[in-house]
């Protein structure tokens, strides 16, 4: 949470960054909303847990990346941090990315235990960035 706060807080109260960074933020927001549309009600959780009624979703944004909500968050925070253009915002982004990677690691272990087909899904999709990582 503190990483998100550091990313967003306009430390110098100056917006030295380009408007293009806000476009990146908007794209991240759009991806997040699209991802929520593909989640079933009750299937989404902010905690790294697998609910009893959960199903493995592999369509929509999940076809390309296993963690589109995390990709959305990272894109939004990068856009805001670079738009604000302050070293504290960059520090916040590093904290956010570290927390997201840690959470994704824990979540994937749980998903592998709950869904045997998740291993196959991991081979067919990237973690955060399509065709890259």
Six token digits for residue 68: 């589109």
CA distance 46 to 103: 10
What share of the chain has pLDDT > 70, as a percent?
80
pLDDT tens digit sequence for 81-96: 888 877 888 888 889 8
CA distance 19 to 94: 22
pLDDT tens digit sequence for 96-129: 899 999 999 999 999 999 999 999 999 999 999 8
pLDDT tops 90 at residue 48: no
Question: What pTM, to 2 d.p., does this model score?
Answer: 0.81
Residues 40-60 have a mean pLDDT of 74
Neighbour tally for 27: CB within 10 Å: 14
- 126 HSE (CA, 13 A, CB side): 11
């Amino acid at each position: 949470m503190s990483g998100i706060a550091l990313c967003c807080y306009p430390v110098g109260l100056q917006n030295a960054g380009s408007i293009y960074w806000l476009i990146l933020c908007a794209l991240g927001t759009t991806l997040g909303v699209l991802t929520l549309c593909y989640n079933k009600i009750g299937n989404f959780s902010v905690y790294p847990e697998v609910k009893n009624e959960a199903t493995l979703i592999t369509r929509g944004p999940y076809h390309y990346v296993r963690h589109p909500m995390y990709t959305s968050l990272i894109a939004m925070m990068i856009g805001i941090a670079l738009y604000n253009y302050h070293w504290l915002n960059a520090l916040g982004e590093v904290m956010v990315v570290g927390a997201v990677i840690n959470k994704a690691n824990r979540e994937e272990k749980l998903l592998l235990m709950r869904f045997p087909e998740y291993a196959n899904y991991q081979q067919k999709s990237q973690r955060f960035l399509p065709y890259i990582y």
